[in-house]
A = this chain, B = another copy of it.
Amino acid sequence: MFHGEPKEDDLELVEEDLPDLKEGEMLIEALYLSVDPYMRPFVSDRAKVGDTMIGEQIARVIESKNSHYPVGTIVRTHAGWRTHTVTSKLTRHMPELGDLPLSTALGVVGMPGMAGYFGFLEICKPSEGETVLVNTASGAVGSVVGQIAKIKKCKVIGFAGTEEKCQWLRDIGFDYAYNYKTVKLDEALTEAAPEGIDCYFDNVGGEFTTTVLEHMKTFGRISVCGTISGYNATEQPKGISPFPTILFKQLSMQGFIISGKWLDRYPEGEKQMAQWIKEKILQLCQKEKDFKNECTILSSKK
């Protein structure tokens, strides 16, 4: 379906007539759709032509023959990129948001927030005073990781793709923020972490990670959340073999897919994230802040 960099004509906007509701079903109308990096590799192998693009959404029940979900209920489910869906089963519970924007259920109180929360705390196991590196640092996952690292009293180094994003990272407490497009990674790490890195939360992979490994401390921990640098590659990326460095620095490296690993612990993570946001200990990432509490960006029901 997709090959290399996604093109506009890889996707097609399709209208369809929806069936009448059967007993137990409901009609949901999307309020927010998620667009996450994981989608790119997940549709490479699995999607067939004609499949609906995958993804989670926040939606409102607008018709219902399911007594558990009366009209007006706000739900979260993997309905894909659809404005309207007839369904009888939701793939996720809706977290308790209080006054937080609904969109956060797809962001910091959703999958990306849980990836940052569990993927960082459970795999990197940060301690006070340690040095933490995160890339794609201004995104929904990276900004959570960096801020939790500050809560845990670590020194935090972030990499992002514009000076504006880097300034925002400094504003929310990152000790160092670099534009990976304009600095030399090796030099930046030598400056920010002359003593080496204890915890590395990786969303990027590839050459970036190969370079970072050389700056890890002995017994460093690496959480592999993404390998974005290779998602559009048309052949397998190659690079310097990391195994000798993993051996001689006695590093731990663990990959994870949040929904496969800690789904049963979402309520615990969601509660903590929502609380930190309410207490203003943790800031929403820039895109999330721009969202109003509800919007009507999607076309209406056919």
Contacts and interface: CB of A to CB of B under 8 A. Distances in A.
A253 interface: yes
B240 A225 contact: no
Interface string A230-254: 1000001111111111111111111
Contact of A253 (B230, B244, B253): B253
Nearest to A226: B247
Contact of A260 (B209, B224, B250, B254): B250
Interface string A130-145: 0000000000000000
Copies of this chain held together in the complex? 2
Contacts of A247: 205, 224-227, 255-257
Contacts of A230: 241, 243-244
A254 B225 CA distance: 17
Contacts of A252: 252-255
Interface of A is mostly: mixed
A202 interface: yes
A243 B202 contact: yes
Among the interface residues A224, A227, A237, A250, which one has the most CB atoms of the partner chain B within 10 A? A224
A80 interface: no
A262 to B, nearest CB: 11
A95 interface: no
Interface residues of A, number: 36
Contacts of A251: 254-255
A206 interface: yes
A201 to B, nearest CB: 12
A284 to B, nearest CB: 26
Contact of A248 (B41, B237, B240, B249): B41
B254 A248 contact: no
26 contacts: A41-B244, A202-B243, A205-B247, A206-B241, A224-B246, A225-B247, A227-B243, A227-B244, A227-B247, A230-B241, A236-B240, A238-B238, A238-B239, A243-B255, A245-B255, A246-B253, A246-B254, A247-B257, A250-B254, A250-B255, A250-B256, A250-B257, A250-B260, A250-B261, A252-B252, A253-B254
Given A238-B241, A245-B255, 15 more contacts: A205-B244, A209-B243, A224-B243, A224-B246, A226-B247, A227-B244, A237-B244, A239-B241, A246-B254, A246-B255, A247-B257, A248-B255, A250-B257, A250-B261, A252-B252
Contacts of A260: 218, 250
A205 B230 CA distance: 22
